[in-house]
A and B are shown apart, each in its own frame.
Chain A
Amino acid sequence: MSTPLKASISVPRSKDLEVNGVKYNRSSSRRNNFEMYAWLFMRLSGVVLLVLVFVHLWVNLVSPEGGVEAVDFAFVAGKWASPFWQVFDMLLLWLAMLHGTNGLRVIIDDYAERDRTRFWLKVFLFTTSAFVILLGTLVIFTFEPCPAGADPALLASFCAAG
């Protein structure tokens, strides 16, 4: 007479019971890997972001001649003329936004006590994050380095050549 194996074991989980605002049982039994991937993403993106952020700071603020004063329209236009910096900045944008959004999602889960509050805070969070990510991506790929009719003094040096 062997012990029944996995399939026949049901997890004891009685119906939702709530007394004086205290939930005695877990209200949902959502079983998927989302939380695991979110946890893993935070760790991996954190490591990558450390590199990206410090390279970004160095390239924009320290390495150009004149330091932070040198950053202007022409500087940004010059950077985004290169596909490398386009991909670099897009990666930085996406990872930073997703990392931050997930962090705030976790904070909402930890500190908001009512499900309704959680829901609306998250709706607001996800809407704003999606807006920033899409707008940023759009700007990176549709950026016009030499707008017609602009003062040539403000533009990058390669605009005059063309």
Chain B
Amino acid sequence: MSTAHTPDRPEDGRDDDPQDRAPEHGHAPGHDQDDRAGYKTDADAGSVDERDEADAPAVDPAAENAEGGEPAARVELPEEQQGEQEIPTFDLTLQIRRYNPEVSDEVHWDEFKLTMYGTDRVLDALHKVKWEIDGSLSFRRSCAHGVCGSDAMRINGQNRLACKVLLKDLDLSKPVTVEPIKGLPCEKDLIVDMEPFFQSYREIMPFLVAGGNEPTMERYQSQEDRARFDDTTKCILCAACTSSCPVFWTDGQYFGPAAIVNAHRFIFDSRDDAGDLRLEILNDKEGVWRCRTTFNCTEACPRGIQVTKAIAEVKNAILSRSM
């Protein structure tokens, strides 16, 4: 059910189509970029399919929501996958930036020739290298399904989650390059020290500060008030945005998009009382005013958060508070 196939998707008899079944990797591939629809996990796979069937005549929400559309598949896969037919395979060259301070301070690139399947992601290629070719390769991954935010890396020069990039969407005529994210100190291979990133996150106080009368049950909030900061609740702290920001690359002193997004989530929360304090923190020399609106962060966010817009809203909030 990749976008390329969507128009021809049979509305029933889906079971004949092995590509269309919730694949072994969990989520339906067509919904990789469907961030607006909220969180989806493996457990939701059933309901996702139901919803799809109900919505089938309407426009595909994935196509509607994905900013700029999903990348077109660059590898032609047969349109119809009948019954016993195998999933198509293709060859690719994977270049990985290697660094191991215990062996050498030099950085080098390793090249691997792999044969992968049409349903595989960059993370599967990394697994194949680690499990079958070179066990010394190090990278982080936890859930492997785009929720935990552990495997942000620079794939073909763009910050992406390795578990959300399908190999067939990449240009396989050239080698696929994988590097650690920039701006944070590299510890080994694709693993960076996230401490400066989390330090900024801690500084904006990413927790609810609510005073007044303590309610006996939950704190109520209208749907409109909840919708005000809905976009910024989606952050998974993968650091793809912060490490794509050229201002952060300079000296790492800038708070960074991720910290501002998470401050935004509480500043615009009607239940929170510490908005002024967070605005004051972000009115720093290294705060929101260092944003140059290059939109790298918005482009990098695997959750589709409008990061630059959120930063602009925080700028406006600081301005209107001071004027």
B185 at the interface (CB under 8 A from A): yes
A142 at the interface (CB under 8 A from B): no
B212 at the interface (CB under 8 A from A): yes
Q: Is the CB of A36 within 8 A of B283?
A: yes
Q: Is the CB of A35 within 8 A of B185?
A: no
Give the CA-CA distance A118 to B158 in the complex, in Å: 29
> Within residues 283 to 321 of chain B, which ones have a CB less than 8 A from any CB in chain A?
283-287, 289-290, 292, 315, 318-319
Q: A-facing mask of B244-280, CB < 8 A → 1, else 0?
A: 0011001111000000000000000000011011001
Summed over the interface, the residue pairs from A and B with CB atoms below 8 Å come to a total of 82
Q: Is the CB of B289 within 8 A of A38?
A: yes
Q: B-facing mask of A31-70, CB < 8 A → 1, else 0?
A: 1011110111000000000000000000000000000000
Taking A26-B286, A36-B319, A39-B315 as contacts, is the C-beta distance between A3 and B203 under 8 angstroms?
no
Give the CA-CA distance A21 to B238 in the complex, in Å: 23
Q: Which residue of A lies closest to B289 (CB)?
A: A35
B72 at the interface (CB under 8 A from A): no
Q: Is the CB of A31 within 8 A of B280?
A: yes
Q: Which residue of A lies closest to B246 (CB)?
A: A110
Q: Separation in Å of the B303 CB from the closest CB of chain A?
A: 26
Given contacts A9-B277, A23-B196, 14 further A-B contacts (CB under 8 A): A3-B209, A3-B210, A6-B274, A6-B277, A11-B203, A12-B202, A22-B196, A26-B284, A26-B286, A33-B322, A36-B322, A110-B246, A110-B292, A112-B250
Binding site for B on A (CB under 8 A): 1-3, 5-6, 9, 11-13, 19-20, 22-31, 33-36, 38-40, 106, 109-113
Binding site for A on B (CB under 8 A): 185, 195-196, 199-200, 202-203, 205, 209-214, 246-247, 250-253, 273-274, 276-277, 280-281, 283-287, 289-290, 292, 315, 318-319, 322
